Chain A
């Protein structure tokens, strides 16, 4: 690393990995409940497990993004991070709020709104925490020696994510309005501003890993985020087909969400082109693996699997079925989990001074995790398509159909086991890197 303050990224990554482990654990509780093995129901009913699973995903990704920003911004602005002590306060308060929320879900302290279950008082604490985080970044950028496109896009994405959290804090009596504005948060995060964050991190990684000229990489970064917003903002309409708002969204959502894969395709082509063009390949092979994984699998999961059921003519069959879970799992894995793991694998050797670049355990973790998630996605796909056929075409009862799908849920559990084996190896890797040290400092 080039600046001492970059060390703080380690603690955000560590917290991120801890919460990732919680997410996987609760995923198993849900998987086993689906095959009838729900012995924990009295203490952890399905709705608790589901809420912890989704919210821990959001927390570990956000913590990963924050770690990424604290690592990237000093290097991009050629400046130590402003107010390092404040950044540690931000880390601790983030952890306290997150743990309070996750524990609260076990005693019904929640708002039953998918992805936005954090109760209102904790929402305000999240808002304060994020303002603190953005203040630290902003001051660092202002005091910095240079303002790069990469750092501004990353910062812009984070500001956008903070602003878009606000519509989720409005309370509505109508389920229609509630759902409408819930998507302002969820959709405009994952198919909007989070793509800016991903683009910013990807741009930084491509500059560092391929040696291609910054100007070339950042030009294409603008094109990709332009495609993201041109398609993604009006693409929100694909969530509005069947929730009680006007038919106009069938046309708008259908057209623009069909264009959404273009941004992810752009990201894939961009990363692959820069990788093949680059003459100075970085020795950190694992960081390259995860970077290319993010660029390629995000297109498959968020792009193609999203496209598969985004047209209203198809979505009327798949809306509210496991087909959505299929798309969701590969989209989050490809786009956001992989980019957090990519920056983590890039940053860890630099922060700790241990140059584990191409070791067997790391590669095994990468392949097992990917094989596991693809197995899970195949299981969700088979279950989803069968559910659509049996429920939506033959009009069978929901419960009967779910019983017929059990074999797919066993495949799902098998895939989750393979994924978790990979993630356990990855966590061992994380521990083996050791603690951050000033000895890892290199000349800026």
Chain B
């Protein structure tokens, strides 16, 4: 039967080894991001910070992460078009698609353009199959689409 000292060693060694592997995998996978994903423009980076400043994730989801109250926006540019997205961001009139109210942000054209650039970037991401899900392709049909 395991002694207390052996249990302690199991904890310490196990933690050290798995954490070391985790750090290794982190370095490996992050070193591939530039290669596997489209480049991020300055406008798209500004758009990401506007997205954050307005806490869009507090209602929507992006890359599948957020509050599940409003639609996933990873591929919104492809689904709704650039003009529609820009109009929504710049409108100062409240609206409620499907009965759910959205804050009227009344963004400047510059800010709206930056957010659109951010969405154009997310639209091009390789998400290991999730990009097809947001394009309304059933996960069962992804292989056929690919």
Q: Using a CB–CB distance below 8 Å, which chain A residues touch chain B? A: 30, 33-34, 36, 38, 41, 45-48, 50-51, 108, 110-114, 117, 149, 173-180, 215, 218-220, 222-223, 225-226, 229-230, 233-234, 236-237, 240-250, 252, 312, 316-317, 319-322, 324-325, 392-395, 397-400, 402-403
Q: Are B138 and A393 in contact (CB under 8 A)?
A: yes
Contact B138 A243 (CB under 8 A): no
Across the interface, which residues of A come within 8 angstroms of B87, CB to CB? Answer: none
Contact A245 B15 (CB under 8 A): no
Q: Which of B8, B11, B57, B59 has the largest number of chain A CB atoms within 10 A? A: B11
Closest residue of chain A to B17 (Cβ to Cβ) is A230
CA distance A164 to B34 in the complex (A): 26
A33-B101, A320-B64 given; name 18 further pairs at CB < 8 Å.
Answer: A33-B100, A34-B69, A45-B59, A46-B59, A47-B59, A108-B55, A113-B57, A114-B57, A114-B58, A219-B2, A220-B7, A230-B18, A242-B64, A316-B142, A319-B64, A320-B65, A397-B98, A403-B98
**A-B CB contacts (within 8 Å), total count:** 206
Residue pair B10, A226 in contact (C-beta under 8 Å): yes
B57 touches A226 (CB 8 A): no
Judged by a CB distance under 8 angstroms, whether B54 is at the interface is: yes
Which residues of B have CB within 8 Å of A108?
A: 53-55
Q: Is the CB of B48 within 8 A of A173?
A: yes
Of the candidates A45, A111, A242, A392, the one whose C-beta lies within 8 Å of that of B103 is A45
Q: Report whether over half of chain A's contact residues are helix, strand or loop; otherwise say mixed.
A: helix
Cβ–Cβ contact A48 & B58, under 8 A: yes
What B residues does A45 contact at CB under 8 A? 59, 101, 103
In-complex Cβ contact of B62 among A174, A175, A393 (8 A)? A175
A175 and B127 CA atoms in complex are apart in Å by 12
B33-61 CB mask vs A (1 if < 8 Å, else 0) is 10011001000010011011111111101
- With a CB–CB cut-off of 8 A, which chain A residues contact B129? 242, 316
Within 8 A of A (CB), among B58-79: 58-59, 61-72
- Contacting A at CB under 8 A, from B121-146, are 122, 125-130, 133, 136-140, 142
